[in-house]
Amino acid sequence: MYEVFLTYRDELIYTIAVIILLMIIQFVLRKAANKVGKRSEINITRTRLMFKYINILIFLIAAFLLSFAWGVGLSELALIFSSTFAVIGVALFAIWSILSNITSGIIMFFSFPYKIGDTIKIHDKDLPIEAEIEDIKAFHLHLRTSDGELITYPNNLILQKAVSLIETHRRHDEGKDAL
């Protein structure tokens, strides 16, 4: 065991340093997302969704840095990442609307002026909708009409349509103090 440590001493020290640094960066990013969420009165479930995105980002950075540290050459690493992103790119092109909704969900986290409990009107010439925002998910909004009908509205469309605030009626968020 001691021989293994001596042989890979530099790699192990680099690995520990990278893990500690990425944990600090993850902590800072999560605190920042939490602070934005509290300041903007964003629902706790949406803030937790941002935490998942932060975790994925940190994992990808860790995979890149650690593979480089353990002897994977830059050209091999470039080949692996370019091949992976090419496959992901083809898959996402086939399902571009899902990526569009996720991106819209991230944009809405930081700059969506309406909150859960607000009643809004979506100005769509074919199908105007007036409903209360019941939940904001990664891909869509849950809207409840006055008739009790639940409408699932894609995030990318809510950013493309004109929306009016009809009534502000914020529901108490029981999980807000949980963080």
The pLDDT assigned to 139 comes to: 84
How much is the average pLDDT of 28-36?
A: 89
pLDDT score for 98 = 75
Is the pLDDT at 56 greater than 50, yes or no? yes
Q: How far apart are CA 159 and CA 141, in angstroms?
A: 11
Sheet containing 150-154: give its strands across: 150-154, 140-145, 129-136, 119-123, 162-167
**pTM surpassing 0.85?**
no
Q: What is the pLDDT of residues 68-127, one digit of tens each?
A: 788 777 788 788 878 888 887 777 676 777 778 888 888 888 878 888 889 999 998 888
Mean pLDDT, rounded, for 28-45: 85
Which residues are within 8 A (CB) of 47 and not within 5 positions of it... i.e. 6 or more apart? 33, 34, 37, 109, 179
- Distances in Å between the Cα of 15 and the Cα atoms of 28, 66, 73, 84, 123 are 20, 6, 16, 23, 53
Q: Quick: pLDDT tens for 115-166.
A: 888 999 999 888 899 999 998 888 889 999 999 999 999 988 888 899 999 8
Q: Identify the pLDDT of residue 119.
A: 93
pLDDT value for 177: 43
- Can you tell me the mean pLDDT for 13-32? 92
In DSSP terms, 123 is beta-bridged to 162
